[in-house]
Amino acid sequence: MKKEIKALFKDKPGLKLKSKEIAKKLGLTDEHQIAELKHFLYKLTEENYLEKNGKRYQLKLDDSEKLIGTLQIINQGDFGFVTLKEKAIKDIFIAGKNLANALDGDLVEVELTKTQRGKNLEGKIISVIERGKTEIIGTLKKNGQYYFVIPDDDKIHHDIFIHSKYLNGAKSNDKVVVSSIIWESNQPNPEGKIIEVLGKSGNYDTEIATIAREFSIPFKFSKKTLNEAEEIPEKISKEEIKKRLDLRNQIIFTIDPEDAKDFDDAVSVEILNNGNYKVGIHIADVSHYVRKETNLFEEALQRGTSVYLVGKVIPMLPEKLSNKICSLVPNEDRLTYSVIAELTARGKVVSYEIKKSIINSKRRFTYEEVQQIIETGVGDFSFEILLLNKISKTLRANRMKKGSINFFSPEVVFKLDKNGVPIDIKIKEIRESHNLIEELMLLANQIVAEHVKPKKNELEFPFVYRIHDLPDKEKITEFARFVKSLGYSFDPNAANKSKQFQMLLEQVKGTEEEAVVNEIAIRSMAKAIYSTENIGHYGLGFKYYTHFTSPIRRFPDLIVHQLIYDYIEKDKFKNFTHEELDEICNHASAKERNAINAERYSVKLKQIEYLKGKVGQNFHGVISGIMHFGIFVELSSTLAEGLIRFKDLDDDYYTFDEKNYSVVGKRTKRRFRLGDKINVKLVRVDEERHEIDFILSE
C-alpha cells in the first residue's frame, strides 16, 4: 500500500487530500484497509515524504530543498522538463524563459515556482551543476565577422559562438565537432572550440561520419581486429567437417532483402513418412570464428549490433566475416548451427535437435522472388517454398491464439542515386514471404530458449533471454482513453489485454489511424530487453524466448550460440559467469536502443533531404502528435513528420486540449484530434535544423 500512496502523490504532486479522499482514490473500503492506510500516511509523514496541513496530506517539498536533476529540452527551447535524481515526483516543467543558461542533458539545480503545469510542478533553473554533453556536432556558419555552429541536435536550442582563433581550419558549411563549451549567465550564446572537421555539410560520406560520431558508433575496426579476421582460413578443414552434421546435399536456401550482403539464416523442409514435417533453420556459426578473449570478440561486444543507416551498414564484424566466411552465400560450404524440428500438420513440435552442422546453400532468394513463387506456384524449389509458407501460416495462427500481438510499424525504403541523394521513398510492404522467414526464426529462437529451461530440481543454467515485461498500468489506461477518443473500445482492466490488443489492431487495420494507434500502443508497452532472468515475452506470448538467429549482426545471438553449445556439452560455466552475462545483457540492450535511435535519425535526415525539393506541394497525412505549440503531421506517402505551428492556423485561436488529445478553435470550435486525416502544404524545409513546416491545405 505504501507504494500506491507514493505513486498517487508522485503522479499529481500538487494534490492536497484528506485520508478518506486518498482511500477513495485507492479503492480502499473496509476498516482494516483504512487503518493500514492511516498507518502508512503516518510513516510517510515521519519519513518527510508527505506533510500534513490540518487534515490534508501533500507531497513535502521545502523551498529550501535542493532539487537536482537532468534537463530535457522540448521543441528547441520552448520549454523543458527536469527529471529529479532523488525525489520521487513527476518531472518538473521548465518554461523557456526559466531555462537560464542550461542545455539539454545538463545536470541542473531547480527552484520550484508557485504554479503548476497540468500534472507537473513548475520550476526554474538556478544553476548548471554539470554539462551533459562534452561535444556537440553541427554546421559552421559565418554571420558578418562572427562564426556560429548550428547544432544538429534540435534539443540544443542555441547556436554556439566560435571565436576565429578556435576555428581549427574549419570553413563555413563544414560539419564540425565542438568542445570546451562555456556559457556564462551574462552571455547571449554558449561558446566553444572546434576540435574536428568531419567534412562538407550535405556530403553523403560526411553525413554517415556525423551520425556515427553523434551516436558514438565505432566507424572503423582496429588493426588488431582486422588482422585477426584476415588470419582466419577461408577453407574448412576436414577435421571440422567430421565433427558436424553434414547437410551439404540437402535442399537449403536463403531468403533475404535484395540489398542484403550478410546472410545469417537458411531454411529447409521435407515431408516425413509419418506425414509430419521436418523443418530446418540453419544459422551461421559465427561463434566458431569469434572466440572469447580475442580482439574480434571484444570489438563485437563493444559494438553490440550492426547499425543499418540509409544506404550504409556499420557492421558488428569485419567484412571478411560478415559478408564472406560467415555469410551463407550460395554454392559455398558454410559452418552453421542448425535447429531441426519435427512438426505436425497443426504446427506442434514433436521433437527437435540442435546440432553443429555444415551446409551448402542451393539458392539465394530475395523476398520478392519468393513472393512471386507463393503467388504463382512456379519457380526454383517451389515445392519447398509453398510448404514452408503453409507451415508458417499455421505457426502464426497458433501464436495469435496464444495471445501474441502483431504490431504494425511501417518503415520506408529509399532509392538513392550514386551520390547518396534520395530520389524516391516507398513504404515497405510486409508480405507472406517476410512472414514465412519471421515465423521460422521465432520457432528456432523459442526452441533454443525452451531447451535450457531448468528441469525439476535442476539448477538454472546461466543464459541470455529476450524478455518483454507486462505493460505499465498507467500507460495502458492512457492508451484506452486515447483510442476511445477515436471511437474504439479498450478495457485497461481486462484480464486478457493481449486479446484486446489483437482485436483493436485488427479493427484499425487499413484505416488512416492504423499507424498512430499502433505507435501509441507500442509506446504503452515495456521495452523488450536482454536479461539473464527470464520473465517471458509478453508481446509474443512466449514463456521462453531468446535471440539465436542473427549472430552476424547481433552480439547476444553470438553469445547464445556459445551458451547453447556449453549446455549441450554439460559444461555450464565454461565460458561465462552469471555476472558477466548480466553485464553483456545490459550493454547489449543499451547498444540496441542506441542503434535504433541512429537508424531513425538517418531516416529522418533522408526524408528531409527528399522533401527539400517539394516545397509548395500538397500532401495527405495523419495527425501524429499534438503539443501546446502546434500539431505534428506524418505524411502518408513518406512517413516524414513535420509541424503546423499554431501561429499558422490563422482562422481562429486554438488551445491544446490535453485530456482529449486535440486542439480546439476558441470561436469556431473546430477540432483537430490525434489520428485525424489532414491535408497539408509543405512551406519550409530546414536541413540544418532538421525542421519541416506545414500549413493547412483544404
Residues 373 and 441 in one domain: yes
Query: In angstroms, rounded to a whole number, what is the distance separating the alpha carbons of residues 213 and 219?
Result: 8
Q: Which amino acid is at 229?
A: A
Q: Record the cell numbers describing residue 396, joined without a space.
A: 502464426
Q: How far apart are CA 45 and CA 5, in angstroms?
A: 12
Q: Is 215 part of a structural domain of the chain? A: no
What is the pLDDT, as a whole number, of residue 63? 55
Nearest partner of 675 among 627, 617, 634, 616, judged by Cα:
634
Task: Return the closest-CA partner of residue 96 out of 74, 113, 112, 117.
Answer: 74
Of 481, 521, 520, 485, the closest CA to residue 501 belongs to 521
Tell me which residue of 151, 162, 152, 100 sits closest to 126, measured CA to CA. 100
Q: What is the pLDDT of residue 619?
A: 97
Distance (Å, whole) CA 370 – CA 381: 10
Residues of the chain with pLDDT under 50: none
Residue 51 and residue 195 in one domain? no
Task: Pick the closest to residue 236 from 335, 378, 348 (CA basis).
Answer: 335
> 525, 545, 565: which is the final residue of a domain?
525
Query: Final residue of a domain: which of 93, 113, 130?
Result: 130
Distance between CA atoms of 77 and 605, rounded to whole angstroms? 21
609 found inside a domain: no
Q: Which residue has the cell 547464445?
A: 560
**Neighbour count for residue 553 (Cβ, 10 Å):** 21
Is residue 152, in this structure, part of any structural domain at all?
Answer: yes
Q: What is the pLDDT of residues 566-623, one digit of tens each?
A: 888 876 657 788 999 999 999 999 999 999 999 999 999 999 999 999 999 999 999 9
Chain segment 346-389, per-residue pLDDT in tens: 999 999 999 999 999 999 999 999 999 999 999 999 999 999 99
Examine the fold and report which residue of 14, 40, 59 is the final residue of a domain before the chain moves on.
Answer: 59
Residue 164: give its domain's CATH number: 2.40.50.700
Spatial distance between the Cα atoms of 381 and 365, rounded to a whole number of angstroms: 10
Total domains in the chain come to 6
Bridge partner list, 695 = 681
> Are 433 and 534 in contact, with CB atoms under 8 Å apart?
no
Predicted structure pTM score: 0.87
Distance CA 11, CA 546 (A): 35
- Whether 375 and 417 map to the same domain: the answer is yes
Which are the contacts of 503, defined by CB distance < 8 A and separation ≥ 6?
Answer: none
User: Helices in 525-577 by DSSP H: which ranges?
Assistant: 555-568
Grid cell locating 379: 519457380
Q: Does 262 fall in a domain? A: yes
Strands 191-200 and 160-162: parallel
Host H or E run for residue 109: strand 107-117
Q: If DSSP codes are grouped into helix, strand and coil, which group holds residue 283? A: strand
Residues whose CB is less than 8 angstroms from the CB of residue 231 and which lie 6 or more positions away in sequence, other chains included = none
Question: Does 377 share its domain with 483?
Answer: no
Domain containing 652: what range? 615-696
Nearest to 409 by CA among 251, 573, 511, 519: 519
657 and 547 in a common domain: no
Q: What is the pLDDT of residue 306?
A: 97
Q: Are residues 271 and 356 in the same domain?
A: yes
My answer on whether 537 and 629 are in the same domain is no
Return the H-helix or E-strand segment holding 594.
Answer: helix 578-611
Same domain, 589 and 441: yes
Question: Do 507 and 643 fall into the same domain?
Answer: no
User: The CATH number of the domain where 692 resides is what?
Assistant: 2.40.50.140
555 and 267 Cβ atoms separated by less than 8 Å? no
Rounded distance, CA 244 to CA 336, Å? Answer: 9
Retrieve residue 621's grid coordinates.
Answer: 497525412
Question: What is the structure's pLDDT at 14?
Answer: 64
Distances (CA, A) of 253 to 86, 293, 545: 55, 33, 25
Look at residue 410 and tell me if it is in a domain: yes
- The answer to whether residue 218 is domain-embedded is no
Residues 172 and 115 in one domain: no
Domain co-membership, 365 together with 272? yes
Residues 620 and 681 in one domain: yes
pLDDT of residue 698: 73
Output the domain CATH number for residue 124.
2.40.50.690
Residue of 517, 407, 509 whose CA lies nearest to 468: 407
Instruction: Supply the CATH number for residue 30's domain.
Output: 1.10.10
Q: What are phi and psi of 530, to 5 degrees?
A: -95, 140
Residue 216 in any domain: the answer is no
How many helices and strands, by DSSP H and E, does the chain display? 16, 34
